[in-house]
Structure formats: C-alpha cells, structure tokens
Amino acid sequence: MLIKSIESLSNGLNILWSDNSSSCFPWLWLKDHSESKVDLHPDSKQRQINVFNNLTNNSADQVLLNKNSKLILIKWEDKTESSLSFNLLQSAAEPSLPQSYAMNSSIYWNAENEIIIFPEMTYDEFMSDEGLKIWLTHIQRIGFVLVNKTPSTPEATKDLMERMAYIRNSIFGGFSVWDNTLENPDDTAFTSLAIEPHTDGTYVHDAPGLQTLHCLKRDSIGGENQLVDGLAIAEKMRHEYPDAFNILCTVNIPGRYIKPDTYLEAHRPLFRVNDNGAVIQVSFNNHDRAPFRLENDQMSSFYDAYKIFHNLANEVSRQFEFMLEPGKVLTFDNWRLLHARSSLTGYRQLCGGYHNREDFESRLRSINSS
C-alpha cells in the first residue's frame, strides 16, 4: 500500500493511502518514531530521541513526501528533522493495543494422522546451512521436530542445542545427563514411573519455551513418549465447550515445586490469551497444581472445565507416540505441546535441557528476515 497524498492538520499529519483509506498520525507520535540515524540507532533500532524534553517544540514547519525513496521528511520549528518510512507508517495505519501474538503458521493436529508433513530430519541436515531454518519452521508449524542419526553423546546433543541459542539454566541445572537409577530423584521425570501429559515449568513465572530430550542409552522395556497438541485442544474447547474454555482462560491456577531450600510457585491460566482471544500459551500440569479454593459454585465450574481438558489430553487417539532411541533427538514447544511417558522397566539414560521462548522467537525472526 502506497501513500497518495498527505495533509498537515492541527492535530497531526493525515495520510491518504492508495486504497483511499486514511490515517491521521499525531505530531508527537511522528517525532517520537523518527527513523533518522540521529533518532534511531541503525543497527540495534533503539530509540535515541527523547521527545519529552521539549514538548512545546513539536510543531511541524514543513512536511515533504518523497515517493521515490518512500519516505516522509518533517522539518520541525526547533530546527530538528524527522524521517519516517512508508513501511513504518503502513504498519501503524490502524491503532491497536500492543500484545503478544500466537506463533504464525501453526497447524493444529488432533491425531497423528493429521500431521501431513512429518517434522523429521537428520543430524547432518540440521547442521547444514539451511538446517536450522528447517528445524525452526518444523517447531513453528507442528510444535516439535525429531533429529535422527545424531551421535549418541552428550557433546553432540549439546552442540545441536547451542546451534539454536544458549541453553537455559534452571533448578535442574543447564544441559543435563540423567538416568532412572537416582536414589532420591527430584522429579518423576527421573524415575521409571508413567507421567501424564503436561507442560514443564507451571511453577515458574517464565516457563521454558523449548525442551530437548535425547536418549543416550536404553536397555529397557516400555518408556514410550507421547506428544499432544494443546492448541488443538484449546480450539476444540473454544468451539464445543465455550464456557469451560473461558474459565480456563481466566482462573490463575497455582503451580508449585518444593524441595529442600526451594519453594517455587507461579500462577497462570491454563490458556493464556491475548486481547484478540488467541491462545499464546498452554500451561498444564495436574501433578504440580497447588491448592486453591474459589467460591463453591465457581470451584465446581472450574473442576468441570479442567476435567474436560484433562480427559481430552489423555485421549490415546490424540497422542503421537514414539520411542526415543539413541540417535533420535526430540525438541518441542513447551508453550504448545503436552508431553508424557509410559512406565518402563530397565535402564535408560537421557540428556537434554531447555531454551527460552524469546530466543526461539528471536531466531525465527532473524532467520526469516535474512
């Protein structure tokens, strides 16, 4: 969309777009959003202008429209100049509240057979020039990716993870190697017990964005892994159980983790939504849910809604099941997918860790804009 004409008004600059719509930008907003090298750092894009020092001087003296350069140049009465691109002005043509957005290009799946293009690649493919972009796109689209033919070593797994970003530290450490023979395990994940579908980190304010798991050694029976698309459940509940969906969007469910010298607790709705109602995070762990009480009728409604989600997540038909073998590395979106594991007998050693959500989104933006 191009700019047809501009008109200076007392309250701002009115822009007539090529589709005959118009936008009136306040003068203060225009000065505050100047993209000149003096006002906006060319590399970091950090604002270098402070419009609050001289509020009385934000009066335009001259406004120039350069259609060839796709820029608007404003000369102010205080002798400063501002430059704004058509792209910036177009992106802000319609006023809206800033908010978090769900990942674009997500393809919800309610069963394994709905995963049309399976998110799988080899270690060598991942380490190639285009490998990281494909890997990121798989997670953005489906919620997980499997990297096969990976050397069955902690070093290779760590190299794989650090190709995306630095590994997040947590109460369990950063990159970890563990097995199911620990005498005093901190979590059921370090045991041989079955684990129901859940997301990690319901007890921390900023739950991990991605989780990576690699089985290094396996001499066991059972222990199959399951993945469930939480966003698909959210959309099903939005349309088929709207009252229950709204309850799970509004009740801040407490999660907690307790061990000697540690007492973590955070409160978050099962479905975290933005102002448009789009689900941007699914947060569910029935085992880590801390006690809380609402009014009796509200508590009853909450239990009904929570039960719907719990039962849908535990439907076998919804779960993609597979076995983590040495050489197969799983990375999944912990803000979207629930993961689970069957009980096992025997020995199994795993390694892995977490990435922050913002680092995942950062690499996506960077790699898609290059």
In tens, the pLDDT along 68-111 reads 999 999 999 888 999 999 999 999 999 988 877 766 667 999 99
Contact predicate 318/226, CB 8 Å: no
Half-sphere exposure of 137 (CA within 13 A, CB side): 12
pLDDT band at 159 (very low <50, low <70, confident <90, very high): very high
Contact predicate 14/6, CB 8 Å: yes
Read off φ and ψ for residue 124, nearest 5 degrees: -65, -40
- pTM for the model: 0.85
Residue 29 CB partners (closer than 8 Å, separation 6+): 12
Structure tokens at 213: 């798991």
* pLDDT for 181 beyond 90: no
Encode pLDDT of 235-273 as tens digits: 999 999 999 999 999 999 999 999 889 999 999 999 999
Question: Which residue ranges form the domains of the chain, and what is each CATH number?
Answer: 3-91 (3.30.2020.30), 103-370 (3.60.130.10)
The radius of gyration of the chain from alpha carbons, rounded to an integer in Å, stands at 25
d(CA 179, CA 157): 16
d(CA 165, CA 208): 13
Instruction: Specify burial of residue 32 (Cβ count, 10 A radius: 0-12, 13-18, 19+).
Output: middle
Structure tokens at 365: 């933006």
**What is the rounded average pLDDT for all residues in the chain?**
92
Residue 182 CB partners (closer than 8 Å, separation 6+): 190, 191
